[in-house]
Structures are given as C-alpha cells and as structure tokens.
C-alpha cells in the first residue's frame, strides 16, 4: 500500500503520489487563488502538510480525498479574493455542440464518429492523451477544477460539490460544459489527423 510505504519514509511512494496528484492540486488551487504562482505555493504547502501529518491520517476517507481537503482549506485561506462574491453562472458557457452541426430541426448535419476507429487509424495514444490534458488545462475555472476532480481524479460528484462549495446540480452543469469543450478539442485533433 502506498500509504504504508509513505509512513515508512519510502521516497518512491512519495514520488508516485506527487506524480499522480500534484498537477491536479495546482489546478484545483487555482480556483481559489489569483495566480499560477500562488496555486503552486498552495500545492507545495499541501505536500508539506502531508509529509508532516501523514502519521495522523486516520484512513476514514481515502488518501486522495484527504489530500484535496487539505488543499482546499489552504487555498481558501490563501485566496486573494472572496469567491463567495463571485456568483457562478454555469449556464453562460454556450451549447454542448455548436449549433452549426445541426439542421433547423435540431438533427445532426455533420454527425460525430466514435474516436476509437479514427484514433487507431491515424494516431497513437500519446497525442490523444496530451490533447485531452491540454484541453483540460485550458478550461476556464470553475470548469477546470470540476473536471480535474471528477474526471481526472475520479472523485464523486458529491465529493466535488463538498470540496468546492457548489451544489451537486451546479457541479454537473459545470462538468457538462467542461467535458463538451474537451470532447470538441479531441474531435478537432482527430478530424485534423484524418485529413
């Protein structure tokens, strides 16, 4: 177990943990603070708290959830602006798929194709993964934080809502907009690769 290795002072276990979570920690911190540098600081601060506090971790939540809870507490404290005063209007982000893809009745004029076939024909997996992660990195907040927690790290919608102080309904709406943009980016890459 990673946790046991960590408790035993295993450096490789720590490396693995950082590799798995650091980028996501920074992205979620960015939701609360104003700059990338401040988000890096909060993430680093979180690792310090983990190193110092891992022996007190009681295992009542997953290590992952514990990590993000520490992060969010620190990010809120460090937050330059009061997020509560920035109302989130998740409906402002436009349609899931551009209206130009549908006819007047709302049926596809240019229907999508599953990515797998095209990916297999034209690309290996590495650029696909890179494109997806770049698209997530380019999402505006709060979509970036929500997609990172829900889809990259696999937290439940409930956990995401608790961590970010959003309703589950809003988490799903924000998630939907974020996923739509990532899908669109991948479709752009795949269609580009086909030409």
Partner 1 sequence: MSVFTKDLVCQQAVELVTDYLEDVLSRRERRAFESHLEACDGCVAFVEQVREVLVVSGTVGPEDLDPATLDGLVALYREHRDDPT
Q: Which residues bind partner 1 (CB under 8 A)?
A: 9, 11, 14-16, 18-20, 22-24, 40, 44, 47-48, 51-53, 55, 95-97, 99, 102, 105-108, 111-116, 128-129, 132-133, 136, 147, 151-154, 157, 172-173, 175-176, 179, 182-183, 186-187
Structure token pair of residue 68: 């993000």
Closest approach, Cβ 61 to partner 1, in A, equals 20
Of 67 and 83, which has the nearer Cβ to partner 1? 67
Omega of the bond leading into 18 within 30 degrees of 0 (cis) = no
Distance of CA 195 to the CA centre of its chain: 31
Of 112 and 165, which has the nearer Cβ to partner 1? 112
3-state secondary structure of 194: helix
Confirm if 145 and 164 have CB atoms less than 8 A apart: yes
Closest approach, Cβ 72 to partner 1, in A, equals 19
Of 83 and 181, which has the nearer Cβ to partner 1? 181
194: CB partners within 8 A, 6+ apart: 118, 121, 122
Residue with tokens 């990010």: 75
Of 82 and 125, which has the nearer Cβ to partner 1? 125
Of 85 and 100, which has the nearer Cβ to partner 1? 100
Closest approach, Cβ 190 to partner 1, in A, equals 9
Closest approach, Cβ 146 to partner 1, in A, equals 11
Omega of the bond leading into 102 within 30 degrees of 0 (cis) = no
- What are the helix (H) ranges across 80-139? 115-122, 125-137
């Amino acid at each position: 177990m990673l946790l046991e290795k960590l408790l035993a002072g295993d450096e490789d276990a720590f490396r693995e943990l950082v590799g798995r979570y650091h980028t996501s920690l920074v992205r979620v911190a960015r939701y609360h603070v104003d700059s990338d540098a401040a988000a890096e600081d909060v993430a680093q601060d979180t690792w310090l708290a983990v190193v110092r506090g891992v022996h007190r971790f009681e295992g009542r939540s997953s290590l992952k959830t514990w990590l993000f809870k520490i992060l969010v507490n620190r990010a809120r404290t460090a937050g330059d602006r009061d997020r509560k005063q920035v109302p989130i209007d998740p409906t402002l982000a436009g349609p899931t798929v551009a209206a130009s893809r549908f006819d007047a009745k709302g049926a596809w004029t240019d229907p999508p194709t599953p990515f797998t076939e095209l990916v297999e024909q034209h690309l290996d997996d590495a650029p696909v993964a890179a494109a997806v992660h770049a698209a997530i990195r380019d999402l505006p907040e709060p979509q970036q934080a929500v997609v990172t927690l829900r889809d990259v790290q696999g937290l439940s919608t409930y956990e995401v809502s608790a961590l970010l102080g959003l309703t589950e309904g809003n988490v799903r709406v924000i998630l939907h907009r974020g996923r739509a943009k990532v899908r669109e980016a991948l479709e752009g890459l795949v269609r580009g690769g086909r030409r």
